[in-house]
C-alpha cells in the first residue's frame, strides 16, 4: 500500500509541475486566471491600434477594462457585434508574434471567435 501511495504522490507532483510550468510560460500582461463572462463593449479599429473595451465586473476572476493591440493583424472578427461575452481564450507565440483567439457568445448560444495577431499589447486594469 505504501508503494501505491508513493506512486500516486509522484504522479500528482508531475501533474502539478506541468501546471506550474504552464503558468510560468504566460507573459506578464496576460490575464492568467481568465476573463470568462466579461462583456466586450466595443471593438475600435484604426491604423495604429485595435482596442477592445471590456466591462469585466461580471468576470469570474480578473478585471481588465481595455486591451490595446499594436502592430496587429485581424484574422477574424464577427461581422455583427451587438452584445458579446468572453467565454475563454487561447494565446500562442510564434516568431515574436502573438495570436490571441477569444471565444465569444452573444447570450443566445451563438458562439464565434475573435482572432488577432499582434506584436505589442497594452492591458489596462481598473
- Structural domain includes residue 104: yes
The pLDDT, as a whole number, for residue 24 is 59
CA distance to 52, 55, 67, per residue, from 48 (Å): 14, 23, 14
- Structural domain includes residue 70: yes
- pLDDT (tens digit per residue) in 64-80: 999 999 999 999 998 87
- Structural domain includes residue 15: no
Q: Where in the sequence is the domain holding 77, given as residue range(s)?
A: 33-124
CA–CA separation, 76 and 27 (whole Å): 23
- Structural domain includes residue 50: yes
- Structural domain includes residue 62: yes
The residues of the chain scoring below 50 in pLDDT are: 12-13, 15-22
The pLDDT, as a whole number, for residue 103 is 96
- pLDDT (tens digit per residue) in 111-121: 999 999 999 99
The answer to whether 21 and 14 have CB atoms below 8 angstroms apart is no
- Structural domain includes residue 119: yes
Using DSSP, state whether 65 is helix, strand or coil. Answer: coil
Number of compact structural domains in the chain: 1
The pLDDT, as a whole number, for residue 60 is 87
The answer to whether 64 and 100 have CB atoms below 8 angstroms apart is no
Nearest Cα residue to 125 out of 72, 74, 84, 64: 64
- Structural domain includes residue 13: no
The pLDDT, as a whole number, for residue 102 is 96
- Structural domain includes residue 79: yes
Amino acid at each position: 500500500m505504501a508503494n501505491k501511495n508513493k506512486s500516486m504522490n509522484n504522479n500528482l507532483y508531475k501533474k502539478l509541475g506541468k501546471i506550474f510550468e504552464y503558468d510560468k510560460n504566460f507573459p506578464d500582461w496576460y490575464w492568467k486566471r481568465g476573463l470568462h463572462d466579461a462583456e466586450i463593449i466595443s471593438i475600435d479599429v484604426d491604423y495604429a491600434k485595435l482596442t477592445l473595451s471590456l466591462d469585466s465586473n461580471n468576470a469570474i476572476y480578473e478585471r481588465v477594462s481595455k486591451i490595446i493591440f499594436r502592430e496587429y493583424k485581424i484574422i477574424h472578427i464577427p461581422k455583427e457585434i451587438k452584445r458579446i461575452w468572453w467565454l475563454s481564450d487561447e494565446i500562442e507565440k510564434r516568431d515574436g508574434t502573438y495570436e490571441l483567439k477569444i471565444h465569444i457568445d452573444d447570450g443566445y448560444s451563438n458562439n464565434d471567435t475573435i482572432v488577432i495577431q499582434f506584436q505589442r499589447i497594452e492591458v489596462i486594469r481598473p
